[in-house]
């Protein structure tokens, strides 16, 4: 991390607040990952789930602004940086929907899971972030853990062409860039303003999500549809707010692989508890790698 901060960057704080924010984020995202399929299986499409998620960002953004005494940076540079963080994250989610329509999850998710590679490369080369040897070992273990944890059995889906792989690579680049930009922006503007513009960009893409929805199919408009989706996606939104703070106080080369590796572990454990779903051998190895990596990176 650069030794010099500019703009509204916060002064250094004692202790490791980034670790608390990162751990709470992974906890919320892990629970979200285990529950997200409930409204989908009840007949509420993921594209409509995206729309609900965008709305749950609103109260989180308002709480953040309230904590910052309603100070919102409105200069063009702050708007541009915040919008870039938002569009790369939310836009990547919409591209993911299309990728999963055109190809199987066992191809798409392992590619996307390696997005921290982009974050690490950009943060080391441009932000000059450095890590101790133990932390680099942890980062090295976290990357294969991500691939193992995202593995799913082939389901017989026929892959036609390479478009799904191209789309997956697009999400890989977008989410890796988002994490880097979140750290870059945090050194130049307030975290609360970053999240506010993330919320705005998420809402701006709702019409795209609605256009991708097949309204000719039956849709569950009851509580198990949008109501339950709102409660579940609120976990994701709170986690998204907290990870902005994690990047503010922590190194991107540590925060990105840690949160991406630990959340799936929680999801798998909860899925085992809630649905009696046994993890695949690859998942077990991935969990061992991930837990070891977290211990090394936080030492």
Low-confidence ranges of the chain (pLDDT < 50): 1-14
> Do residues 234 and 32 lie in contact, with contact meaning Cβ atoms separated by under 8 Å?
no
User: Is 153 exposed, middle or buried (CB count within 10 Å of its CB: 0-12, 13-18, 19+)?
Assistant: exposed
> Do residues 289 and 50 lie in contact, with contact meaning Cβ atoms separated by under 8 Å?
no
* Cα 32 to Cα 27, 179, 181, 216, distances in angstroms: 9, 19, 24, 28
> Do residues 50 and 209 lie in contact, with contact meaning Cβ atoms separated by under 8 Å?
yes
pLDDT recorded at residue 277: 78
pLDDT recorded at residue 5: 40
pLDDT recorded at residue 163: 86
pLDDT recorded at residue 106: 82
pLDDT recorded at residue 13: 44
Q: How far apart are alpha carbons 23 and 83 in whole angstroms?
A: 25
Token couple for 171: 């999400």
pLDDT recorded at residue 152: 83
> Do residues 157 and 104 lie in contact, with contact meaning Cβ atoms separated by under 8 Å?
yes
pLDDT recorded at residue 161: 62
Q: How far apart are alpha carbons 196 and 158 in whole angstroms?
A: 41
pLDDT recorded at residue 211: 95
Q: Which of 114, 101, 112 is nearest to 158 (CA)?
A: 101
- Residues 192-227 as b/e (b if ≥16 CB within 10 A, e otherwise) read bbbbbbbbbbbbebbeebeebbeeeeebbeeeebbe
């Amino acid at each position: 991390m650069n030794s010099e901060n500019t703009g509204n960057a916060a002064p250094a704080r004692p202790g490791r607040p980034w670790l608390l924010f990162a751990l709470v984020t992974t906890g919320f995202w892990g629970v979200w990952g285990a529950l997200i399929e409930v409204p989908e299986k009840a007949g509420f499409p993921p594209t409509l789930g995206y729309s609900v998620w965008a709305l749950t960002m609103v109260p989180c953004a308002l709480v953040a602004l309230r904590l910052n005494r309603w100070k919102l940076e409105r200069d063009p540079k702050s708007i541009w940086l915040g919008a870039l963080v938002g569009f790369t994250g939310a836009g990547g989610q919409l591209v993911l929907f299309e990728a999963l329509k055109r190809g199987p999850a066992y191809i798409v998710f392992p590619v996307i899971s390696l997005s921290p590679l982009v974050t690490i490369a950009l943060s080391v080369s441009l932000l000059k972030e450095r890590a101790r040897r133990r932390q680099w070992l942890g980062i090295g273990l976290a990357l294969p853990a991500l691939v193992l944890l995202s593995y799913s059995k082939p389901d017989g889906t026929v892959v036609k062409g390479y478009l799904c792989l191209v789309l997956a690579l697009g999400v890989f680049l977008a989410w890796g860039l988002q994490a880097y930009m979140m750290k870059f922006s945090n050194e130049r503007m307030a975290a609360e303003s970053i999240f506010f513009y993330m919320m705005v960009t998420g809402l701006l893409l709702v019409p795209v999500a609605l256009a991708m929805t097949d309204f000719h199919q039956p849709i569950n408009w009851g509580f198990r549809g949008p109501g339950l989706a709102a409660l579940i996606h609120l976990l994701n939104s709170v986690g998204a707010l907290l990870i902005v703070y994690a990047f503010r106080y922590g190194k991107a080369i540590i925060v990105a692989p840690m949160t991406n590796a630990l959340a799936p572990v929680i999801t798998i454990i909860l899925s085992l508890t809630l649905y009696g779903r046994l993890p695949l051998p690859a998942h077990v190895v991935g969990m061992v790698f991930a837990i070891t990596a977290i211990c090394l990176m936080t030492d």
